[in-house]
Amino acid sequence: MRTRSVIVCLAALLVLSGCGAQVEEAPPESGGAAVTVQNCRAPLTVPGRPARVVTNDTGITEIMFALGLSDRMAGYASYAGKERDIESSPWRADFRRTTSLGDGFTREVIQSADPDFVFAGWNYGFKESTGVTPDWIRTLGATPYQLTEACRQPGTTERGIMPPLDALYSDLANIGDIFGVRDRADALVAAYRAEVAKADETAPPIDRRARVFLFDSADPNPFTSGRYAAPQQIISEAGGANIFADLADSWTSTSWEAAAQRDPQVILIVDYGAGPQNTVDAKIRQLATHPLMSQTEAVREKRFLALPYAALVEGPRNPAAITQVARYLRSKGF
């Protein structure tokens, strides 16, 4: 790892996306000894430094890019409409020079890429219904690495085992160890912690924080963030209060009745381009015409903030998202 990259990252405490984008791409050494890390509270041994990595989802892929590991990528898959995420990404150039495997994270797609390391997560590509599971990845002779935000709680399919930012920092450190770039990971984490602390400095007291509803989509019930998904800490570190922080899950469904009863003062909208029903304008219209949500303070006062999907799932855009949410809340008097 080149010393200059660390200096650039540590200096760019207030421009986190820029820091990630400026990591120099000096190829890491080949081979390497076996490395064991803790992944989803279990030891995971990687036999050598992976050379053909397959990822699923834009946030996960950006973790690799932020660490300067695009040269190790065999390809990435994502969701329909990912173009909006890629266009807003600080790592657009990395996406363009990395093979896109399309919108389906299937067994056939993964096998065709011939990976030795697969980075995904439960509901971020790993699903029993498709047969794409960590155990199946092992049958290919590849190592499965699970996104920590999506680790399953013991004995359940509910996800989340630690605070969301801790999950991000854990994954950066683990991937740094596996690929021999731990100094890059440590530099990023130090910069991210500094940006988060700066946003938190302006946060109001707990009893004066805005009630914030994270709205992803509705089909027909609203999909939102519990306490273990990234928006929980994006909202709380920005000085707001997630109205569904009591749900001990990651991304999860709730009811319109519950959302309206908690009377959000601000609504944070996930912006992704998967069909006309998922545009920001379409979601705002849905909220404004809903008989219950239309009566909430956020809808009456038109307090909507939209951020890209990749900023709101676990990934290196999270700290900058905290800064954006904090600025919005302060601009509205919260």
pLDDT at 7: 36
pLDDT tens-place string over residues 125-170: 999 999 999 999 999 999 999 999 999 999 999 999 999 999 999 9
Give me the pLDDT at residue 152, please. 98
pLDDT tens, 221-262?
999 999 999 999 999 999 999 999 999 999 999 999 999 999
pLDDT in tens, 40-95: 999 999 999 999 999 999 999 999 999 999 999 999 999 888 888 999 999 999 99
Which residues are CB-contacts of 328 (< 8 A; sequence separation ≥ 6)?
A: 266, 305
- pLDDT tens digits, residue range 159-185? 999 999 999 999 999 999 999 999 999
Q: How confident is the model at residue 188 (pLDDT cuts 50, 70, 90)?
A: very high
Six-digit token string for 101: 């495997």
Domain range summary for the chain, segments of one domain joined by +: 3-195, 204-331
Query: pLDDT tens-digit profile of 93-108?
Result: 999 999 999 999 999 9
How far apart are the C-alpha atoms of 60 and 119, rounded to whole Å?
7
pTM for the whole thing? 0.90
pLDDT value, residue 17: 39
**Domain range 204-331, its CATH number among 3.40.50.10190, 3.40.50.1980, 3.40.350.10, 3.30.1330.10:** 3.40.50.1980
pLDDT single digits (tens) 208-223: 999 999 999 998 999 9
CA pair distance 215, 224, nearest whole angstrom: 5
CA angle 26, 64, 95 (to 5 degrees): 90
- Residue 10, pLDDT > 50, answer no
Tell me what percent of the residues of the chain surpass a pLDDT of 70.
91
273 pLDDT band, cuts 50/70/90, is confident
Q: Distance between the two ends of the chain, CA-based, in angstroms?
A: 42
| Mean pLDDT value of segment 308-324 | 97
Tell me the two tokens of residue 330: 């302060």
Gap between the Cα atoms of 236 and 275, Å rounded: 30
- Diameter of the chain measured on Cα atoms: 60
pLDDT digits (tens, 9 = 90+) for 13-45: 333 334 443 344 444 444 778 999 999 999 999
Average pLDDT over residues 105-131: 97
Give, in words, the CATH class of 3-195.
Answer: alpha beta
* DSSP calls for 160-190: -SS-HHHHHHHHHHHHHHHTT-HHHHHHHHH
Q: In degrees to the nearest 10, what's the CA dihedral of 305, 307, 312, 313?
A: 150
CA dihedral (238, 243, 248, 252) in degrees, to 10, reads: -100
Structural Rg of the chain based on CA atoms = 19
- pLDDT at position 149: 97
Q: What is the DSSP secondary structure assignment for residue 316, as one 8-state letter? A: T
Question: Torsion angle of alpha carbons 113, 116, 120, 122, nearest 10°?
Answer: 110
130 in Cβ contact with 108 (< 8 Å): no
DSSP state of 140: T
- Who has greater pLDDT, 305 or 20? 305
Q: What is the mean pLDDT of the chain?
A: 91
Q: Is 329 helix (H, G, I), strand (E, B) or coil?
A: helix
